[in-house]
Amino acid sequence: MKTRLLFLGPPGAGKGTQAARLCETNGMKHLSTGDLLRAEVAAGTALGQEAETVMNRGELVSDTLVLAIVENQMKSFSGGGWLLDGFPRTVPQAEALEPLLKDLNQPIQAVVLLELDDAVLIQRLLARGRADDNENVIRNRLEVYREKTAPLINFYRKKGLLLSVAADGSVEEITERISSTLI
């Protein structure tokens, strides 16, 4: 099975949920930039304070700040596989990732795109109720996704890495779909 992965998809598509399950089952390292940023916010670090207002508006934290966090975390990548969840999120982030992975000699094996209708995404996020899960902010997150992150779909399709998975149905069904595309 492919074990050096990247998860792409709109907010609420289930990236975090599915990444946690896949990593648990396959002994891969789960790197979620959203979780890392929320940990900085909770710890009240300078970085967290800078990120908090941006996140609560549903905008993206600066590429520089995110890259600093990711670069630090990637030092611990071993041969056991890894899954990047919520990163890269812009073309400049994806371009910056390439030399980092080259240095580690660990190329991406697949990019999993989780696809779901807006109505279901919004419903899921409203039911969760995180600080950035109110209707206005969710709509902004969706717009930011379309404008800044969706271009990565073609970026990775051109590299022959993209695998699309329908993200509707039960958590278990989706895990099964993802696992079978990664064989």
Residue numbers at the binding site for ligand AP5 (CB under 6 A): 9, 11-17, 33-34, 37, 54-55, 58-61, 66, 86-87, 89, 93, 124-125, 128, 132, 141, 170-171, 174
Nearer to ligand AP5 (CB atom), residue 1 or residue 20: 20
Taking the complex as a whole, the smallest distance from the CB of residue 53 to ligand AP5 amounts, in Å, to 10
Taking the complex as a whole, the smallest distance from the CB of residue 110 to ligand AP5 amounts, in Å, to 17
b/e map of 42-63 (b: 16 or more CB within 10 Å)? eeeeebbeebbeebeebebbeb
Nearer to ligand AP5 (CB atom), residue 74 or residue 125: 125
Taking the complex as a whole, the smallest distance from the CB of residue 20 to ligand AP5 amounts, in Å, to 8
CB atoms within 10 A of CB 114: 23
Q: In terms of Cα–Cα distance, which of 27, 25, 26, 33 is closest to 7?
A: 33
Beta bridge partners of 8: 113
Cβ–Cβ under 8 Å, residues 87 and 149: no
Taking the complex as a whole, the smallest distance from the CB of residue 27 to ligand AP5 amounts, in Å, to 20
Q: How far apart are alpha carbons 160 and 156 in whole angstroms?
A: 6
Nearer to ligand AP5 (CB atom), residue 37 or residue 74: 37
Query: Taking CB positions, which residue lies at the least distance from ligand AP5?
Result: 34
Cβ–Cβ under 8 Å, residues 172 and 178: no
Nearer to ligand AP5 (CB atom), residue 54 or residue 161: 54
Nearer to ligand AP5 (CB atom), residue 23 or residue 60: 60
Taking the complex as a whole, the smallest distance from the CB of residue 183 to ligand AP5 amounts, in Å, to 21
Longest dimension (CA), the chain: 42
- Beta strand spans in the chain (E): 4-8, 29-32, 82-85, 110-115, 162-166
Nearer to ligand AP5 (CB atom), residue 71 or residue 105: 71
Taking the complex as a whole, the smallest distance from the CB of residue 171 to ligand AP5 amounts, in Å, to 4
